[in-house]
Structures are given as structure tokens and as C-alpha cells.
Amino acid sequence: MTKNKVVMLIAAGIALAGPAALSAAPQLAETRSTLKEWVELKKIISEEKNKWVVEKQSLNESINLLKDEITKIEEAIIEYEADASDADKVREDLTRQENELKEASAIVKNTIVDLEAEMLELIKYLPATLQEKVAIPTRRIPKTKREMDAARLTDRILNVIAILTEIEKFNSQLTVVNEIRDIKGERVRVDTLYIGLAVAYYVDGTRSEAGYMTPAKGEWKRFEDNSLADDIADAVAMQKREATVRFVDLPITITEVE
């Protein structure tokens, strides 16, 4: 086919198609616009869908966090209620104990005056060496109403306990005391062996003066018995661990304390 023939055919085709193409142009433009809008809409829907997926996940996480917080709050409330219940119980126990202590204190306060008076009277029957040991708590015992009102109840009780403790200790053991006594108008140094608070035996260094003593108010009663000198001296030596232990026959006189 020659070049001229091809040109003629193309021209003829254009001439034939021209009217149809021109009539379809508006429809094609509308279709293109519709397609463009549909593509945009699909794009928007896709974007919104993706956003919703993200937001839904975020909401689910927030819901789970809130559920955890609610659970923690509920547990905290339960624990608080339990603690509050325990606190109420502790408070009740403390209140009960406080009331019991107040009642006990009232009882002690009502009797401490008599106890102190009896203690001061009892001290008068103690040997001098024991009186010296309890001198400090004895001085602390209030003697006047003013002193009683000023002294703490606890301190007053402790004074009585301190004195009783020393008395009990002395009464439960053998005690040797080197002391000076007036014998036949002379001051003589003797060793005195106290058998608790029941009886005491004394002997001088030369074993020439000896005897025993029994409790009495103010000063123990002394009974001279020089025949006991050797046995008493041996007993004193054994108590000092200066002699071999053996049985010693010493008299015990039971008398009514005046």
C-alpha cells in the first residue's frame, strides 16, 4: 500500500468516526469524574477503616487498663476494709487494756499507802547490814501526803519491790558480816553469821566472845554463849571457804518477834 492510500484511509476513518466521538465525549468525562470520585471514596473508606482499627485497638487497651485499675481499686478497698476491721479490733483491745490498767492502778493506788507503811515498819526488824542495803529505796518512800501526791505510782511500787527483793535475797542465803558490837561495855569487832533472817551467830577474833541473836524491833536481841565460840568460828570459816565443810551443831531458838 502506498503512502497516499494510507493517508486517505486514515482521513476517511477520522471523517466517519468524528461525529460519534464528539457525541460520546461528555459521557466519557462524566464517567471519568465518577470513577475519580469512587476511587477517592474508596481511599477515604480505607483510611477511615485503618484509623478505626487503630482506634479500636487503643480503646481495647484503655478498657483493659481501666479494668485492671478497677480490680486494683476493689482489692485496695477490700484490704482497707480488712485493715479498718483489724484497726477497730486493735483499738478495742487497747481500750480494754487501758481500762484494765486504770482499774489495776486504782487498786494499787488504794493499797500502796498501806504497803509503804508496812514496809517502813518491817525495815525496823531487819539487821543493820540489811537496812544499809535498802537505805536508798527506803528514803524514797514518801512519808507525807505532799510527798505521796508528788511521787509517781510506778516509782512507789518500784521502791517497795526493791526492798522486798533485797529482803528475799538476804533471807534465802547465809551471810557473814564483819561488824562492831557493844559487848560488856566495850566495842568488839566480831564476825556475824546470819542464817537468813531467822537467827544470827557472832564470835570475835579471839574466840572468847560468842553468842547468837534473834530478830527484834530496832536491834536484834543478843544472847551471850561463849561455849559456842569454836563452832561459830568454824561455821564462819566454812562460809568464807577458809575451812573444810563439816556439820556444826548450833542452837536455834524460836521466839516470838516483838
Tens of pLDDT, residue by residue over 102-133, are 888 788 888 999 999 999 999 999 999 999 99
Report if residue 165 sits inside a domain. Answer: yes
**More confident site: 51 or 199:** 199
Residue 185 sits in the same domain as residue 233: yes
Domain count, the chain: 2
Give a yes or no: residue 186 inside a domain. Answer: yes
* pLDDT tens digit sequence for 149-202: 899 999 999 999 999 999 999 999 999 999 999 998 899 999 999 999 999 999
Within a domain: 68: no
> Can you give the three-state secondary structure of the chain, one letter per residue?
CCHHHHHHHHHHHHHHHHHHHHHHHHHHHHHHHHHHHHHHHHHHHHHHHHHHHHHHHHHHHHHHHHHHHHHHHHHHHHHHHHHHHHHHHHHHHHHHHHHHHHHHHHHHHHHHHHHHHHHHHHHCCCCHHHHHHCHHHHHHCCCCHHHHHHCCHHHHHHHHHHHHHHHHHHHCCEEEEEEEEEECCEEEEEEEEEECCCEEEEEECCCCCEEEEECCCCCCEEEECHHHHHHHHHHHHHHCCCCCCCCCCCCCCCCCCC
What's the domain range around 185? 174-239
48 occurs within a structural domain: no
pLDDT at 237: 96
Please tell me whether residues 213 and 192 are part of one structural domain.
yes
pLDDT at residue 4 greater than cutoff 60? no
Does residue 46 belong to any structural domain of this protein?
no
181 and 129 co-located in one domain: no
Q: Are residues 181 and 160 located together in one domain of the fold?
A: no
In a domain, 1, yes or no: no
Same domain, yes or no: 139 and 195: no
Residue after which a domain boundary falls, among 128, 151, 169: 169
pLDDT value, residue 7: 45
